[in-house]
């Protein structure tokens, strides 16, 4: 057997001012064929798992380019076309192949392309023909367009949010691919359109039990090869944005369709109840400041660079400064200009500095003050599960008793190690302010006395009924109340 694998992934917040080109892919992850490290990042697990599986089977795995850009705004047109064509050329050169196993994210939008993955998968299908296996792993924060479903035999999607299971799902993807190539199964994909958009953290109910239920169904019923929820990504203004339920069965599409519908309507019945409670800035800061135990984590949940925002909002910090809070560490605020100034001044210097809130409206005002530069770190990295996430050259500054980490590569606050690598002991702080919607939960919950989700300003289009979409369909909840008619609850 000869298989081809490649990775092409990012998540596009079409409302973000941070447009990206090829440099953004190169800065996050760009591996030429054969050069991907042994450790996977979020969307490249199909490649690393594929190496192991094919080595065990004695099969040939031909690697194409593997690239991922951290979530941001629109992708430059020539950049998307260039990366796409690079991989398609590699696939052509690898032909004939018995299967194509891809690592995608599923929420790319490029200038001129509202469905880049549909375009890409369609071209892959054209090259390999109708009978060759094409499958991919996806992030649930993606758009499942008809074009993608048409071009692909099956998808496996991360079940967990935070995405702690991207390697496990790549194992599922490969197990189904191997069994298919060995003639043991015939996977068919059934999709149900939930006609809704919501946010579905699996760290809490009702989604925790729902995902546990999916695993149970997969284990108990031999007809079911894989069950996945496409959560949808509300910051992507594309026509087919929304929540979908996928059932991959062993040759029983009607059963798959029934199951996908039943499960999809369960999600619909719980619409609006999946999200965690959100506090105002005033409430979050008040609650954190009176807490006896530390550290209290305040998640600036909507200024999440992992959702494509700049990550430079200052609203929570400004409130803490106003109230004279101490024992506070903020990680991170993205400001490459301020970082450059801090490096020029040097560690130990005390300088006037303006930082933060320069990129987008709804993120507060830049902070001005006389800051002390405590520590500078080139190419800083934090842990993210089994791998590392870079946050670039970083400066640890102190202003009025509050510690702030300024970073130059936008990064979601995945892990408390972002503080420790800068010389701040996170456990000794009373309050930690971080930028993340929910990915932080897996690691920060281990050290936090309390976690507060704070909705501060409007850095992200988090209210779909009010968001000024140009392309998104209007026949989904919450834009309309009864998209399934009155039959569904
Ligand atoms: Zn995601």
Q: Give the distance (Å) from ligand 1 centre to CA of residue 94.
A: 31
Measure the CA–CA gap between 161 and 289, rounded to whole angstroms: 29
Indicate the pLDDT class of residue 41, thresholds 50, 70 and 90.
confident
Q: Give the distance (Å) from ligand 1 centre to CA of residue 275.
A: 15
Q: Give the distance (Å) from ligand 1 centre to CA of residue 159.
A: 10
Q: Give the distance (Å) from ligand 1 centre to CA of residue 141.
A: 4
- CA terminus-to-terminus distance, the chain: 48
Which residue would you say has higher pLDDT here, 83 or 41?
83
Q: Give the distance (Å) from ligand 1 centre to CA of residue 93.
A: 32
pLDDT at residue 188 tops 60: yes
What is the pairing mode between strands 187-193 and 2-9? unpaired
pLDDT of residue 27: 86
Q: Please, what is the Cα angle at 419 between 21 and 28, to 5 degrees?
A: 20
Indicate the pLDDT class of residue 3, thresholds 50, 70 and 90.
very high
- In whole numbers, what is the pLDDT of the chain averaged over residues? 96
Q: Give the distance (Å) from ligand 1 centre to CA of residue 242.
A: 14
Give backbone dihedrals phi and psi of 225, rounded to 5 degrees, phi first. -90, -35
The secondary element (H helix, E strand) that includes residue 79 is helix 77-94
Query: How do residues 204-234 score in pLDDT, each as one tens digit?
Result: 999 999 999 999 999 999 999 999 999 999 9
Mean pLDDT across 279-285: 98
Q: Give the distance (Å) from ligand 1 centre to CA of residue 48.
A: 19
Query: How do residues 381-440 score in pLDDT, each as one tens digit?
Result: 999 887 788 999 999 999 999 999 999 999 999 999 999 999 999 999 999 999 999 889
Percent residues over pLDDT 70 in the chain: 99
Highest mean pLDDT out of 40-44, 366-370, 408-412: 366-370
The model carries a pTM of 0.92
Q: Give the distance (Å) from ligand 1 centre to CA of residue 439.
A: 9
Mean pLDDT across 290-302: 94
Q: How many other C-beta atoms lie within 10 A of the C-beta of residue 259?
A: 21
Indicate the pLDDT class of residue 28, thresholds 50, 70 and 90.
confident
Q: Give the distance (Å) from ligand 1 centre to CA of residue 228.
A: 13
pLDDT at residue 141 tops 90: yes
Measure the CA–CA gap between 292 and 304, rounded to whole angstroms: 28
Q: Give the distance (Å) from ligand 1 centre to CA of residue 140.
A: 6
Q: Give the distance (Å) from ligand 1 centre to CA of residue 171.
A: 18
pLDDT of residue 487: 60
Q: Give the distance (Å) from ligand 1 centre to CA of residue 277.
A: 20
Among 73-77, 117-121, 187-191, 272-276, the minimum mean pLDDT is found in: 272-276
pLDDT of residue 489: 52
Q: Give the distance (Å) from ligand 1 centre to CA of residue 380.
A: 23
Residues 6+ apart with CB under 8 A from 440: 162, 297, 299, 412, 413, 414, 415, 434
């Amino acid at each position: 057997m000869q298989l081809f694998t490649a990775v092409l992934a990012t998540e596009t917040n079409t409302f973000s001012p941070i447009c990206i080109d090829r440099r953004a892919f190169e800065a996050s992850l760009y591996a030429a064929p054969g050069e991907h490290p042994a450790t996977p990042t979020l969307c490249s697990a199909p490649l690393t798992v594929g190496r192991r599986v094919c080595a065990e089977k004695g099969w040939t795995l031909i690697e194409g380019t593997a690239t991922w850009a951290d979530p941001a705004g629109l992708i430059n047109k020539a950049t998307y076309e260039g990366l796409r064509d690079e991989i398609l050329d590699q696939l052509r050169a690898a032909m004939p192949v018995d299967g194509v196993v891809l690592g995608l994210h599923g929420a790319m939008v490029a200038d001129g392309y509202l469905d880049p993955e549909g375009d890409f998968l369609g071209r892959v299908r054209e090259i390999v023909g109708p009978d060759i296996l094409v499958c991919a792993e996806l992030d649930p924060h993606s758009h499942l367009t008809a074009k993608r479903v048409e071009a692909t035999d099956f998808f496996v999607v991360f079940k967990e949010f935070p995405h702690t299971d991207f390697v496990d799902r790549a194992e599922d993807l490969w197990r189904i691919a191997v069994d298919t190539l060995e003639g043991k199964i015939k996977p068919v994909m059934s999709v149900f359109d939930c006609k809704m958009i919501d946010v579905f953290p699996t760290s809490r109910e009702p989604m925790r039990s729902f995902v546990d239920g999916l695993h149970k169904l997969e284990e108990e019923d031999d007809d079911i090869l894989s069950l996945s929820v496409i959560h949808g990504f509300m910051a992507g203004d594309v026509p087919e944005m929304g929540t979908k339920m996928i059932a991959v069965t062993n040759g029983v599409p009607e059963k798959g369709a029934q199951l996908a519908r039943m499960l999809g309507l369960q999600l619909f019945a719980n619409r609006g109840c999946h999200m965690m409670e959100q506090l105002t800035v005033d409430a979050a800061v008040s609650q954190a400041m009176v807490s006896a135990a530390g550290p209290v984590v305040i998640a600036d949940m909507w200024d999440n660079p992992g959702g494509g925002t700049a990550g430079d909002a200052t609203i929570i910090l400004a409130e803490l400064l106003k109230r004279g809070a101490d024992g506070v560490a903020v990680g991170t605020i993205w400001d490459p200009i301020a970082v450059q100034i801090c490096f020029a001044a040097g560690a130990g210097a005390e300088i006037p500095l303006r930082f933060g809130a320069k990129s987008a409206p709804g993120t507060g005002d830049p902070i001005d003050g006389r800051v002390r530069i405590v520590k500078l770190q080139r190419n800083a990295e934090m842990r993210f599960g089994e791998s590392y996430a870079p946050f670039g050259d970083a400066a640890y500054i102190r202003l009025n008793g509050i510690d702030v980490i300024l970073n130059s590569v936008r990064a979601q606050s995945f892990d408390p190690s972002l503080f420790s690598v800068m010389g701040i002991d996170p456990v000794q702080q009373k309050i930690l302010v971080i930028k993340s919607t929910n990915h932080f939960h897996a690691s920060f919950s281990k050290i936090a006395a309390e976690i507060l989700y704070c909705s501060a300003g409007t850095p992200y289009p988090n209210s779909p009924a009010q968001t000024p979409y140009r392309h998104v369909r209007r026949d989904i909840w919450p834009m309309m109340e009864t998209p399934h008619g009155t039959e569904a609850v």
